[in-house]
Amino acid sequence: MRQSRCWMVGIVLASLLVFAATALAVEGEGSAPDPTVRDGRYSMTEVYVTIGLAAAAAFTMAVSILGAGFAVGKIGAAALGAAAEHPELLARSVLFVALAEGLAVLGFAVAMLIVMRMPG
């Protein structure tokens, strides 16, 4: 029970991080000039938005790769066990391993979409 509570707290905190980074990325239209701009350099707002988006992209990649690795490990072990007993099941089980690997590809795509939102 304690382990599931720890996972739940981690998921909630991760969701808050992603939503906070997304909220930072939203820029108001027609807003006043940023007073933190000095000598034509980046404003502090842009710096914080970039850091938040980079953290969100890194977190997205990390979670998707860890999830895909865990899924491939579990599904691959089960697939090889099933293929050892019934060799005709090997082709079907490779499909499930590929679906689990698609999780990492999807995480990469989402991370690239987040990176494209970075200013400058």
Q: pLDDT: is 18 or 115 the higher one?
A: 115
Are 66 and 103 spatial neighbours (Cβ–Cβ below 8 Å)?
A: no
The reported pLDDT for the residue numbered 46 is 82
- pLDDT tens digit string along 22-44? 555 555 445 556 555 656 676 77
- Residue-range domain boundaries for the chain: 43-120
User: What's the whole-number average pLDDT of the chain?
Assistant: 80
pLDDT value of residue 120: 67
pLDDT of 67 reads: 92
**pTM (predicted TM-score):** 0.62
Segment 59-76, tens digit of pLDDT: 999 999 999 999 999 999
CA separation for the pair 27, 48 (Å, rounded)? 12
Taking the domain 43-120, which CATH number applies? 1.20.20.10
CA distance 84 to 96: 16
The answer for residues whose C-beta is within 8 angstroms of residue 97's C-beta and 6 or more apart is: 72, 75, 76, 79
The better pLDDT of the pair 22, 52 is held by 52
